[in-house]
Structure formats: structure tokens, C-alpha cells
Structure 1
Amino acid sequence: MPDARRIRRWRRLLADEREEAAVYRELAGRRRGEEREILLGLADAEERHAAHWVELLGPEADRPARGRLRMRVLVQLAKRFGSVFVLALAQRAESRTPYRTEPDATEAMAADERVHEEVVRALASRGRARLSGTFRAAVFGANDGLVSNLALVLGVIGGGVPSSVILLTGLSGLLAGALSMGAGEYISVRSQRELLAAAAPGTGTSAVVPQLDVNANELALVYRARGMSEREAREHADEVLRNPQLAPAADRPGQDHEVVGTGLKAATSSFCFFAAGAAVPVLPFLSGATGPAPVIAAAVLVGLALMLTGAAVGVMSGAPPLTRALRQLAIGYGAAAATYVLGLVFGATVG
């Protein structure tokens, strides 16, 4: 008979598998078509793993157990959101599978978990692609607002200016920076979309495929220009000539536009998030307080916000959130400290 410690471990693994299955079923309830089927397939696989622990536990399987806290939280997030963030968290959960070192798990179960990680990574990448343009603008806008306005405020504080000047400087930096970021994002995204549009395959090629000279087969030149080898281009062109319906699928014009996003969305996201980030270091000075208290409060608030944005990037990219949060904090505080020192130097020089 297995000892009590082993039974507890099995019961915990059983609970985790049931929680994971619940996560995928909740996510499937918010999806349609192929993604729904894939998520339901993952849930079925987790339930097969759960059945393994039920068989080992026997009557002990009837005793309820709770899964790990992060899995229980993930189930609640899946019920309420079902977003790409939940998929990214599920990807991290799959990457931490204990089955690589669990002696009572089968090799097939360990292999399944490795495959599940790749499946969830692929599903999450679809959402990341849809969000990438707006999300990039939001993260960059919030981070720039936090760092630049904190640095600006600390710089003028280092120069020894009155509290009213500090507040005016912070508000001016907020408005000027938000407008600049919004305009810059709009121009950047619009320019990138125009470049992609110029490079995208045209849609008129498929209409003339039936009229092409089969012997000359100049369609092969199109595919060679797109990067195929001579042999691959010739074979693909022959296939398209035999079945002209394949031509539109081969062209796929404009597919990268979705990844880039729209200029208006990126500009709006960048403007709003920069303004929100830039407002954080200004808030403590709105009360009219003087001395070190508002400075410390601004630094603490900005530090927390920087860690939040860094953790969000970590979750979205599948990287450790804490590592990304600390990196964001170090960069932001470093820039602010450098500006404060410059303010001290120039303030002393002017004085």
C-alpha cells in the first residue's frame, strides 16, 4: 500500500488535472469553430490524466482535494475573461508540469504535457497576433508615461523649484507626451500598413490564371520572386494551373495587416495609456503637499505601476512575470535617478 505522503501527492495531482480540464472547458465555452474543438481536446486529455490518478487512488479518490492556488485562480480567470492572458498563463502552467520527474506518471502523460504546452502556445500566439499592435502601443505608452514624467518631475525637483512649478511641469509633460505618443503611433502604424500594402501580393493574378500559357507557365516566376526555389515554384505553379481555385489562397494579400493593427487604435491606445502613466507621478502633488512625502509617494506609485506593466508583458510573452517586472522597475528607476542627478547639477549651477 502507498504511504500517506504518496497518496497526498496523487490527490493533489488529481485535483490539478481536474482544474486544468475546467480551465480548457471554460475557455472552449468562449470560442467557436476550430479553437473550441482544440480546447475541448485538451480538456479531454487532462481528464484522461485525471483518470490515471483515480485508478491509483482507488477509494481515496473520493476524498476531495484542492489543486494548487495558481490553478484555482486560473479557473476563475477563465470563467470571467477567457482572454489571451488566460491562455498565456495556461501555457506557463503546462511548462511547469511535474510529470517530467513524477515517478508515478506514465511516459505518455509526460509527453502529452509537453505537446499541450505547444498547443496552448500556438493558440495564445493567435491572440497575441491580434493584440500585438494595440497591446504594444498600450504597454509602450504606459511605460513611457511613467518613466518620462517621473524623470521630468524629479529633474525639476532636483533643480529646487517650487511645488506649483513641479505640478505645472508634470501636467505639461503629461499632455505634451500623450499628444506626441498618439501622433507618433498613428504615423508609425499607418506607414507600416502602407509598406505592407505595397509589398502584399496583388489579387488580380488569380483571375488570369486560366488564360496562361501552360507550356511557358510564367506563374512560376511569381513564386520564385516570393522566395521559392525554381523546382518548388514550378511544381506549385503547375498545381495552381491544374486547380485555379488555389491561387487566391496562395496569394493571401494583406494577412500581416491584422498583426500591425490600425493607426487610429494604436494612437488612441498610446495616448490614453501614456496619459494614465504620466498622471501617476503627478497625483501626489495635486494635494499641494511639499517636502519629501509627495516625492516618495510618486516614486512608490510609479514603481508599482512599472512592475505591473512589466508583469503584463511577461505574461503575454510567456516569460516569468516577476523577472520582467523587476527589469521594468530597474530601467524606470535608473532613468529617473539619472534625470534627478542632472537636475541637482544644473540647479546648483544656476543657483
Structure 2
Amino acid sequence: MHDKIADGRSIRRWRRRLADEREEARVYRSLADRRTGEERDILLGLAEAEERHARYWEDLLGDEIGPRRRGHFRMRLLVALARRFGSVFVLALAQRAESRSPYHYDQDVPPSMAADERIHEEVVRALAARGRARVSGSFRAAVFGANDGLVSNLALVLGVIGGNLPTSVVLLTGLSGLLAGALSMGAGEYISVRSQRELLAAATPDPEARAVVPHLDVDANELALVYRARGMDEDEAQHRADALLRRFQLNPPPAKADPEVESGSPRETEDPGEHEVVGSGLNAAVSSFVFFASGALVPVLPFLVGLSGLPAVVLAVVLVGLALMLTGATVGVLSGAAPLPRALRQLAIGLGAAGVTYLLGVLFGATAG
């Protein structure tokens, strides 16, 4: 059993470490089952690393390994989520789990294993960043849409209630605010995303310009200026331009544009993921419309089911508060941070804005009276 002194407490801790390593390996293998290509290979590599760590604990325990036990509840939950969804949310949760590894202060863990866990956190962080980039356009519109719907319509409803207007007016105001806000959000998001994509497209190098490179005068040309305009320093730009021209001198391209031109062109300084991060204008508009409407419906629900007065107000505030905490926690999970502080921050900001509007309604209602 190695040269470690094994008391009852140590054995229990080692068994727990072994169970957690096995669960982590299952998380990564479950995620790999829903991926292809490079991401699948990376996740399988992480799973193999966790299994290597599990073998360390197995060797350390020796005859004291005991019956197979389940890992920490958090890891079992990740396994279940990975099997059903395999989404960026699971990777974000896995990133947070890796960041809280106890190996950094466990004296029974060799430095190489502690270093492995630190590297695993960075690998998962990078994979989660890829996933965030794929969903950022629509997800941003969804979260902001839902949050705006919750806060703006609750503020609108409370402002009307503060003005001491009848329930029918409150309901009509809430539904009007829902429809007007959802249409405005959807249209605004569509225009915003389309405009951003058009700006990116305007900055993309013209493929027709690459076709004339073989015909440039070798002794007098401005090709290096193109590279410099794209962000290279003067020496590097000149070196790249000279190398490209020499390649065309030695190997004249066919009539059709040579792919080598593209590989050596200034497009290398362009971020290939920019258009992916921006997302689709239509998807963002639909997400924004649907989620704003969903959020704006929450403060109106008590009045739709027939409640009025203080019970309706209290229920609306409670429902909106829970929804605000959910959106805040979701953003926290996706960012790999603790969800509770984000949830409480979202709650404080949303209810604070609604409270101000209610007080203004009371003030103007009293003045009008």
C-alpha cells in the first residue's frame, strides 16, 4: 500500500477521491459520446487522465479499496446532465468542479496529479469557451430578453398599481407592455445583429484582390502595406509579402485562384469565429421576442387568473423574483462562476428598478388625486 500511513480517516478520504475520479471520467466520456472530431478526442483524453488518477487511488488503497461507491452528488449530477444534454452548461459546471479540486492542498496527492488537475481546468475552460461562442448570439438575446421582460413589465404593472388604477387597466397595461416590448426587442435585436454582421463582412478581404497577386511587379508593389494594415509590423509584413511573391515566381498559379494565395493572405489576421459569435439575426430576433414575452408574462399572470389587489402584487413580485434569480444563476453557471451571487445581483437590480417605478406611480397617483 505504498509508503503512506493509512488510518481510518485517510482510507475514507482516499475512497472518496477514487469515487470522484471515476465519476469525472464518466462525465467526460458521456460528453464525448455527444461530440465528434477534435472535441471528442479532447474529452476522451480527459477521461483517460481521470482514469489514470483513479488507478493511483486504487493502488494506494490496495486491499482497503472496499466496495465500489458513488462519487460526490455534484459529479453524479454532471454525469446525468452530460448523458441527457451534453451542452455548454455541463462544460461550464465541469469547469467549476475542476477549479475546486482539493488536490492542491491534499498531502497524499503527488505534485504531478495536482498539476494535472490545474491543466484539466484550463482544457475544460477552453472547451466551454468554444460552446459559449457557438450560442452567444442567441443566448445573449434570450437572457437579456427574458430579464428585460421581467423587469420592465413588473415596473410597468407596479407603476400603474401605485397610481391606484383598477385591475382591468393594470391587466391591459401589462399585456400591452408585453406585446410592445417583445416586438421592439425582436426588431432591435435583428437590426443590431444584421448591422454587426454587415460591418464584419465589410472588413473581410476581397477574394478578387487575392487573384491579382501573381501579376504584381516584384520590385514595386504595395502587398506589404496590406499586411501592415491588417496588424503586422513592418518587417514581418515585408517578409510575408516577399515570400508570397517568390512562391508565385517559382510556381505560377493556374488560371483559377490557387488556395495557397488564400493561405498566405492577410485573412490570417482575421478572427474566423467572429461571424459565429455574432450569430444569426433571425435567430437572435426570435429568441429575443419569445424570451421577452415569456418574461413579461410573469408579472401579469396573477391578474390573468383573476387575482387583484395586494395578493396579486405579492405573487407577481415573488414570481418575478424567482425568475430573475434563475436568469442570474444561469449566466453565472455559463460563465463558470458561482451562481448564487449572480442570482442575488439580478434580483436586487430588477426589484430595485421595479420599486422605483412603483414609488413614482404612488407619487403621481397622489398628485393626480
What is the DSSP-based 3-state SS (H/G/I as helix, E as strand, rest coil) of the residue aligned with 1:281? helix
Deviation at 1:226, TM superposition (A): 0.8
Q: Deviations over 1:141-190 (max 9, x none)?
A: 00000000000010011110111111111100000000000011011111
What is the DSSP-based 3-state SS (H/G/I as helix, E as strand, rest coil) of the residue aligned with 2:48? helix
Mean alpha-carbon deviation: is it higher for 131-140 or for 311-320? 311-320
Give the distance between the partners of 2:298 and 2:78, measured in 1 at CA. 29
- Letter paired with 2:41: E
Deviation at 1:246, TM superposition (A): 4.3
Mean alpha-carbon deviation: is it higher for 217-226 or for 108-117? 217-226
Mean alpha-carbon deviation: is it higher for 52-61 or for 246-255? 246-255
Residue aligning to 1:23: 27
Mean alpha-carbon deviation: is it higher for 312-321 or for 330-339? 312-321
Percent identical? 72
Give the distance between the partners of 2:209 and 2:65, measured in 1 at CA. 63
**Are 1:127 and 2:131 matched, yes or no?**
yes
What is the DSSP-based 3-state SS (H/G/I as helix, E as strand, rest coil) of the residue aligned with 1:161? coil
Give the distance between the partners of 2:196 and 2:330, measured in 1 at CA. 25
Residue aligning to 1:53: 57
Residue aligning to 1:102: 106
- Letter paired with 1:230: E
Give the distance between the partners of 2:127 and 2:22, measured in 1 at CA. 21
Task: Choose from 298, 301, 321 the match for 2:339.
Answer: 321
Residue aligning to 1:265: 283
Residue aligning to 1:232: 236
Mean alpha-carbon deviation: is it higher for 157-166 or for 244-253? 244-253
Q: Deviations over 1:185-238 (max 9, x none)?
A: 011111111111111222223323333333445322111001110112122233
Residue aligning to 2:252: none
- Letter paired with 2:347: L
Residue aligning to 1:349: 367
- Letter paired with 2:322: L
Give the distance between the partners of 1:67 and 1:76, measured in 2 at CA. 13
Deviation at 1:315, TM superposition (A): 1.1
Deviation at 1:271, TM superposition (A): 0.2
Residue aligning to 2:213: 209
Task: Choose from 252, 255, 274 the match for 2:292.
Answer: 274
CA contact (8 A) 2:33 2:40 kept: yes
Alpha carbon RMSD of aligned pairs, Å? 1.5
Mean alpha-carbon deviation: is it higher for 262-271 or for 209-218? 209-218
Deviation at 1:63, TM superposition (A): 1.8
Give the distance between the partners of 2:219 and 2:10, measured in 1 at CA. 72
**Are 1:160 and 2:174 matched, yes or no?**
no
What is the DSSP-based 3-state SS (H/G/I as helix, E as strand, rest coil) of the residue aligned with 1:204? helix
Taking structure 1 as reference, are residues 344 and 226 closer, same or farther at Cα in structure 2, changes over 3 Å only?
Answer: same
Give the distance between the partners of 1:314 and 1:5, measured in 2 at CA. 35
Residue aligning to 1:3: 7
- Letter paired with 1:124: A
CA contact (8 A) 1:217 1:237 kept: no
Give the distance between the partners of 1:289 and 1:280, measured in 2 at CA. 14
**Are 1:284 and 2:288 matched, yes or no?**
no
CA contact (8 A) 1:15 1:67 kept: yes
TM-score (normalizing by structure 2): 0.92
CA contact (8 A) 1:145 1:273 kept: yes
Give the distance between the partners of 2:14 and 2:32, measured in 1 at CA. 27
Aligned residues, how many?
351
CA contact (8 A) 1:143 1:274 kept: yes
Any unmatched runs of 5+ in structure 1?
A: none
Give the distance between the partners of 1:212 and 1:151, measured in 2 at CA. 64
What is the DSSP-based 3-state SS (H/G/I as helix, E as strand, rest coil) of the residue aligned with 1:201? coil
CA contact (8 A) 1:163 1:288 kept: no
CA contact (8 A) 2:302 2:308 kept: no
Pair member with larger Rg: 2
Matches within 5 A, 1:105-184: 105-184=109-188
Deviation at 1:323, TM superposition (A): 1.0
